């Protein structure tokens, strides 16, 4: 079949579709790879005239950035009858590099074989995707900046609480990893733990540093820190449930916690993990009103509350982290 015959075949009834398509289309000779036809869209896209396309091998017109890769791809196409590139760089006649989706199929026409290449310009889409990634990176950077600012606010007022949050964050990440949480979930958990006591900035320093047991009214005032922390963070647009985690980290499975006496699955997983890590760190380290009780006492406490106060899966993961993995806090008492 001659080139003219193939064009006539294309005319019936596909010529109009070929000429008006909003994708680039090339028709190649199956054996040689020479270009037999090209549609107007591709000529406009790459800036070559029809005469500069026809009779040339695809890699001869200068559009292919990697000539050797193009030759290898043509060999694969002849063998398999199909090849696709989701993101292929092409060079226009003016020298601009554009990104295209490139799909080639070999098919029969009246007993002969030809190759059709469909070429879609994705340069604008790639640019939009790149801008979105840049925006997301800036957004995440801003979230970290907010958390950093909050931790600085805490350390300027209460160095003990700041250190406590760092330690709890370490343990939360270890427990989350043991439970098989995704890297993204663990990161959100880490950030929540780093500011989980931010609400204590509304509590008087006298209560926070009192060297003896608190009075009932002082305990009631201290309990407000979960609500205050939630109120501080609830309107910040984090991609993780940080405000909710902070709000619930003193809730308990049996409803004995605060501030809302939530039960069971009403408590989010991140808060369940934070609750266990918070208790373990607090018991095993010094408090203003008592010396550290040690890690054994802390683990015994969460074992006693397993299934009643604390999520059993979280408790089991925490016990394994310490007893099997030999986890240690970075700062020891």
* 301 in Cβ contact with 279 (< 8 Å): yes
- Tokens for 215? 């009075």
Q: Please return the burial class of 171, using the count of CB atoms within 10 Å of its CB with bins 0-12, 13-18 and 19+.
A: buried
pTM: 0.62
The domains of the chain are located at 3-121, 135-323
Cis amide bond preceding 13, omega within 30: yes
How confident is the model at residue 136, as a pLDDT?
Answer: 67
Q: Residue 76: CB partners within 8 Å, gap ≥ 6?
A: 83
Rounded to whole angstroms, the Cα distance separating 37 from 6 reads 9
Tell the CATH topology of 135-323. Hypothetical protein af1432 (1.10.3210)
How confident is the model at residue 235, as a pLDDT?
Answer: 86
Block means of pLDDT (10 residues each) for the chain, length 333 residues?
52 73 88 89 91 84 72 81 85 88 82 85 86 74 74 70 89 96 92 90 82 87 91 85 95 96 96 97 89 94 97 98 94 61
Which member of 200, 234, 263, 304 is catalytic? Answer: 200
How confident is the model at residue 77, as a pLDDT?
Answer: 80
Residue 37 CA from chain centroid, whole number: 44
Number of Cα atoms under 13 Å in the Cβ half of residue 244:
13
Is 152 in the active site?
no
How confident is the model at residue 253, as a pLDDT?
Answer: 97
How confident is the model at residue 91, as a pLDDT?
Answer: 86
Rounded to whole angstroms, the Cα distance separating 313 from 243 reads 23
Whose tokens are 């199956």? That residue is 30
How confident is the model at residue 272, as a pLDDT?
Answer: 98
Over its C-alpha atoms, the chain yields an Rg (Å, rounded) of: 33
* 273 in Cβ contact with 155 (< 8 Å): no
**Dihedral through CA 242, CA 225, CA 275, CA 261, nearest 10?**
-100
* Orientation angle between helical segments 295-304 and 312-323, nearest 10 degrees: 160
Beta bridge partners of 290: 287
Tell the CATH topology of 3-121. Beta-Lactamase (3.30.450)
């Amino acid at each position: 079949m001659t080139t003219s015959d193939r064009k006539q075949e294309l005319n019936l009834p596909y010529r109009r579709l070929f000429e008006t398509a909003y994708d680039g289309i090339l028709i190649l000779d199956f054996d040689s790879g020479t270009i037999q036809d090209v549609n107007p869209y591709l000529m406009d896209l790459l800036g070559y005239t029809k005469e500069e396309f026809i009779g040339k091998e695809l890699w001869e017109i200068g559009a292919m950035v990697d000539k050797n890769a193009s030759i290898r791809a043509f060999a694969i196409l002849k063998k398999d009858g199909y090849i696709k590139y989701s993101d292929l760089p092409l060079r226009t006649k003016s020298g601009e590099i554009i990104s295209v989706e490139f799909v080639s199929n070999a098919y029969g026409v009246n007993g002969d074989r030809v190759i059709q290449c469909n070429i879609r310009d994705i340069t604008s889409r790639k640019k939009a995707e790149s801008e979105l990634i840049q925006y997301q990176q800036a957004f995440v950077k801003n979230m970290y900046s907010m958390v950093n600012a909050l931790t600085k606010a805490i350390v300027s007022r209460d160095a003990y609480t700041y250190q406590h949050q760092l330690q709890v964050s370490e343990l939360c990440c270890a427990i989350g990893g043991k439970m098989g949480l995704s890297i993204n979930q663990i990161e959100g958990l880490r950030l929540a733990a780093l500011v989980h006591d931010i609400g204590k900035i509304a509590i008087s320093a006298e209560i926070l540093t009192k060297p003896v047991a608190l009075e009932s009214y002082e305990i009631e005032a201290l309990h407000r820190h979960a609500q205050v922390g939630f109120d501080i963070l609830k309107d910040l647009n984090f991609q993780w449930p940080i405000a909710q985690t902070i709000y619930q980290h003193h809730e308990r499975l049996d409803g004995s916690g605060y501030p809302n006496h939530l039960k069971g699955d009403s408590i989010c997983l991140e808060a369940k993990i934070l609750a266990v890590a918070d208790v373990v760190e607090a018991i095993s380290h010094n408090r203003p009103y008592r010396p550290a009780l040690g890690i054994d006492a802390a683990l015994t406490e969460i074992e006693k509350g397993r299934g009643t106060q604390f999520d059993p899966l979280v408790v089991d993961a925490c016990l394994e982290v310490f007893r099997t993995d030999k986890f240690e806090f970075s700062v020891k008492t």
